[in-house]
A = this chain, B = another copy of it.
Amino acid sequence: MSEPRRHERIADELRRAIADGRYPVGAALPSEAELAAAHDASRGTVRQAVAALLAEGLIGSRQGARRVVLSTTPSQSFTELRSFAQWARAGGRTAGGRVLASSWDVAHTDEAGLLQVRHKDPVLRVLRLRTLDSEPVLLERTVYAEWIGSAVEALPEDCESVTQRLYDDTGLVFAHGEHHLDAVAAGTADADHLRLRRGSPLLRVRRTTTTAEGRPVETSDDRYRPGSVVFTVRNSTQTNPLARTHA
């Protein structure tokens, strides 16, 4: 089961070596020439491989100096991030979920902009509670665009992985996402479903997900019960995916 793509093979090999501790934090990686010789590849292919680790924030790179290991904790794939169920499974936990409410409505002004539809176009609103090992940790208020809404509505109420089911049923893949993170106080509904007091701090993640072609699929307001989940971002002068914006 060898990888077909050479640069991915090299990248995987390096990722494994870093995770295994063969290159601890602060250690220097082999030079491009050495890696090229070891894998019988050209320098360009090796550069493509290390560029992937660079984007993940695992290593740092400066002209003239060997690449340095910055972190040994692996990062997640987008799929794992997008799918609550897949993420839970990867961590050895069991995810649950239940639809609390679901109804068609018209798009609000801001939602219309996020979903790239006209104001007052029909949208499907779904309120979903997610559990981790039977404990409620996340309340999702998701708004789906009309063209995918009917497929979402057809899903069973206790569907574990919406992502997976939508892919199986319609071939839809979530390819891109934009996430806005801040903190809010729990409202009455939040407190009720997440089993905490009104006014308790919640981590709010407002996100919009689109297909590979850039077509918006859903926009969601996710509220995480504190203490159960932490979001992590690695960045550097070379690649910076994180931005701080005025509210």
- A residues with a Cβ closer than 8 A to B are 25-26, 51, 55-57, 60, 62, 65, 68-71, 75-79, 81, 87, 91, 93, 116, 173, 175-185, 199-204, 210, 212-215, 224, 226-247
A67 to B26, CA, bound (A): 37
Contact A246 B226 (CB under 8 A): no
Contact A240 B78 (CB under 8 A): yes
Sampled A-B contacts (8; CB under 8 Å): A26-B213, A60-B212, A70-B178, A78-B237, A176-B237, A177-B235, A181-B203, A232-B243
Our pick among B81, B91, B224, B230 for the contact of A235 (Cβ within 8 Å) is B81
* A46 CB to nearest chain B CB (Å): 15
Other A-B pairs beyond A181-B231, A185-B200, A229-B247, 12, CB < 8 Å: A26-B213, A60-B212, A62-B212, A76-B240, A176-B235, A180-B232, A203-B203, A231-B242, A231-B244, A233-B242, A235-B241, A241-B242
B-chain residues with CB within 8 Å of residue A231 when the two chains form the complex = 180-182, 242-245
Among A65, A210, A228, chain B packs the most CB atoms within 10 A around the CB of: A210
Contact B55 A239 (CB under 8 A): yes
* A15 CB to nearest chain B CB (Å): 14
B-chain residues with CB within 8 Å of residue A185 when the two chains form the complex = 200-201, 226
B-chain residues with CB within 8 Å of residue A183 when the two chains form the complex = 183, 201-204, 224, 226
Q: Of all chain B residues, which has the CB nearest A52?
A: B239
A173 to B244, CA, bound (A): 20
